[in-house]
Every structure is written in structure tokens, then in C-alpha cells.
Amino acid sequence: MLAILAGCTLLPAPVLAQDESDPSSLSELRSEVARQKELIEHQGALLRLQQEQIDDLRDRIVGEDVAVSLRGRGPAQGGTPGASQANEPAGALPDRPVGVAPPEPEARVEVAAVPEGQGVLTPAGRFVFDPSVEYTFASNTRLVFRGIELVPGIQIGLIEASDADRETLTSTVAFRYGLTNRLEIEGRLPYLIRSDRIEVVQQRDEGITREVRLKENDFGDAEFSLRYQFNRPLGERPVWLGTLRVKSNTGRSPFEIPIDSFGVAQGLATGSGFWGVQPGVSFLLPSDPAVIYGGINYLYHIPANIDREVGGIEIGRVDPGDSVSANLGFGFALNPRFSYSLGYQHSYIMSTTTEIEGIMQRSNSLQVGRLNLGLSYQANRNTLLNWVFAFGVTSDAPDVSVTLRMPFTH
């Protein structure tokens, strides 16, 4: 029995000795193991790089959803579109070739509470009907002395004081159409209802008090605009928009209004009386959890020859003052339906040059500053309700303005 076992033990020995003594087989095996090890290390490096890219992309999507889509979510929202990706295992393999970076997603910036004309564009082929109603109240008081002062306290002439309260209700019909995803066209036609109360007090030999109440309702200056989006909304990068607006003179010109001997107009204008061209640029900057907006534009008024007599005075060529306007603010969403915005807008209106009786005269420039508060509510998928409250902070600005807009998307 022992002999048999010894024989069985000794039988494979020549075979093992033969395998170990074959140097070519051992070298091939070692080379194959080295190649497999190198391949595994290379694939591991690619997987780590791919995972870093996925994590970076997920962080952008999560921040972008809160910061950019003001209609969709605010800080109180429980989840985000990136939550499902955040819960995935860190080692999950991507559904694309290893080492190929995924394309950066194109975010749709939906900002409901930012000022009109600074939001995202209308998608290609979509139509927006945007009616609005705006109420504006302005008051001012002037004291004018027409005469000479002999010595301090002794004046010869006419002292005139005027107090004016002006109310304007503007109903505007606006249409927007998306020519492409980056280009839209807009048309606006306002209808104004104006009511002014002007009290004039003149003191010469005796005091004269006169109160004038004026009312007017007519169409205002129609406008046409083109807006172009320069870049795609990607991540937390700013979105740049360019605007070109053309203002007509379809409203009632102030030079068509008769003036009495007191220098008080007998009617009210509903337009500027001049054509204007306004280029501008604006931006939207996502900044978690808000969206910052801003812009600047320049309004160029085209001079015109009036060549008519107004209040007994011959008016020749008039070069209305151009204006530069800028604004800055932010929008914030409190929940999926409600958002608000705060901002400041300032306009510098340059002096107007008027030819009066053949002599060129220049008016004073104006500074118009307003503090804006905007509220937006998503009534349904295609309808928004926007309220804008503007408060004048300079002497040349209207006291208060309230606007209600209700855009419908089709």
C-alpha cells in the first residue's frame, strides 16, 4: 500500500518540473498580469476623473435650479432636481464612455419677478399677450419771481406760485413673439387717461388765485422692440441680453396744446411729440438663492422742426434731451408660485434745446430716481400676475407708481 501511494506521489513530479522549467510560459504569464494591472489602474483613474465631473455637474444643477428658476423653487422647497443624483452611490458608473465629459446642460432661466423687458425671451414660435394697467401720481410746487430786486427785500414785479397734482392711468396692450429661441419681437400700444389739477397764485398789486382742472384721454406713443439673447444660460454664468427699441410719436404732442395768458396749458399731452431710438444691454446673474439683474440703455430723441406758434411764441427747431438709464436689483423666490424683486432705477435726462423767437434756449437737466418693488404670482401654467410698485426718491421723479401686468402665453 505504501508503495502504491509513493508511486502516486512521484508520478506528477516530472510534469511540474517540466512546467516550472519552461521560461517562456512564465514570462508570458507575468507580462499578462502586468498588462492587466496597468489597464486596471488606467480605468480606475478614468473612473475617478469621471466621478469628479459628475459631482461638479450635479452641484451646478442643484445650485442652478434654486438660483435661476424663480418660478420653480425657493429656499423652502424640500427637494431639487439634483437630489436623485446626490443619492446615487459614489461608485456608480456613467451611462457614457469612460473619460468623456458630459455636455454642460442648457438651463432655462425663468425669472418672473424681474422688471419687464429684462427677463428671458419668448421661446421660438410662442406668443405672449401682455396687458397692463399703470397708475402714476406726481405733485410739484413752484415759486417764480418775474421782475427785479432793487435791494434785498424790495422787489418790483410779479410773484407766482403754482401747485400741481398730476394723475395718469395708462392701459397698455403688448404682444411678444419668439422668432427664435434667442430673438423676439415686441409691440406696445398705450392708452392714457390723464387728470391734472393746477392752482396758480399771482401776487402783484393784489392777489389772483386761479385753479385749472384738465382731463385728457388718448393713445400714447406706440413702441416696437427687438430683443436678442447673446449666450446660453449655463450654470451660474450671467445671461446677456441686447435690446433695440423704437418709439413713435403717435400720441398727442405737447406742442399741440394751447396755452393761456397765465402760461397754463389748456390741455394735456399723451405723447412726447418726437421719435426715439433706444439701444440697451441687460444681464441676469444666478447667485444662489437669488437672481441678480441689471442693465443700461441710452434713449436718443430725434430733433424736429416744430415751426408753429404756441401761446403767442414762435417755436422753431427743438432738440429734446436724450437720457441714460441704469438699474440694478435682485429677484428671490419664496415658494414655487410666489417671488419678489427689489431694485433701483436712475435716469439722467439731458437738457432740451429749443429755438424760441429765433434764439436757442436750453432747459435744465433732470435726475429721476426710483425704488422698485416687484411681486409675481404664478396663477397657472400659462398665466402670471405681476405687481410693480415704484417710489420716487428724487425731486424730478413721480411720487408713486403702481403697475399690474398679466401676461398670457400661447
Question: Residue 71 has what pLDDT?
Answer: 40
The pLDDT of 44-54, averaged and rounded, is 84
Given this model, what pLDDT does residue 10 score? 44
For the segment 322-337, the average pLDDT, to the nearest whole number, is 93
Query: Per this entry, what is the length of the chain?
Result: 410
31-45, 253-267, 297-311, 388-402: lowest mean pLDDT where?
253-267
The predicted-structure confidence for 276-290, as pLDDT tens digits, reads as follows: 999 999 999 988 888
Name residues whose C-beta falls within 8 Å of residue 74's C-beta, 6 or more positions apart in sequence: 66, 289, 332, 333, 334, 335, 336, 339
> Would you state the pLDDT for residue 389?
97
Q: Does residue 348 surpass a pLDDT of 50?
A: yes
Q: What is the pLDDT of residue 219?
A: 97
Q: What average pLDDT does range 251-272 have in this prediction?
A: 84
State the amino acid at position 315 in one-letter form. I
Q: Is the pLDDT of residue 18 over 90?
A: no
pLDDT tens profile 67-99: 334 343 344 444 443 434 434 444 444 444 444
Cis peptide before 190 (omega within 30 of 0): no
pLDDT tens for residues 292-323?
999 999 999 999 999 888 777 889 999 999 99
DSSP annotation of 406 = -
Q: Is the pLDDT of residue 189 over 90?
A: yes
pLDDT tens, residue by residue, 137-170: 999 887 766 656 555 556 566 667 788 899 999 9
Q: Of 233, 285, 235, nearest to 82 (Cα)?
A: 235
Half-sphere exposure of 258 (CA within 13 A, CB side): 3
b/e 380-389 (16+ beta carbons within 10 angstroms → b): eeeebbbebe
Q: How far apart are CA 390 and CA 158, in angstroms?
A: 37
For β-strands 408-409 and 290-301, DSSP reports them as unpaired
| Chain-centre distance for alpha carbon 409 | 18
Stated pTM of the model? 0.71
State the distance between the two ends of the chain, measured CA to CA, in whole angstroms. Answer: 98
Residue 63: predicted pLDDT: 43
Mean pLDDT value across the chain: 80
DSSP track, 267-310:
S--SS-SS-EEEEEEEEEEEETTEEEEEEEEEEEEPPEEEEEEE
Does 195 have pLDDT greater than 90? yes
Model confidence at 8, pLDDT cuts 50, 70, 90, reads very low
> Which of the residue ranges 51-65, 76-90, 232-246 would you say has the lowest mean pLDDT?
76-90
Alpha-carbon dihedral angle through residues 386, 377, 130, 405, given to the nearest 10 degrees: -20
Residue 166: Cβ within 10 Å count: 18
pLDDT, greater one: 127 or 104: 127
DSSP 364: -
* Residue 35: pLDDT over 60: yes
Average pLDDT value for residue range 240-256: 95
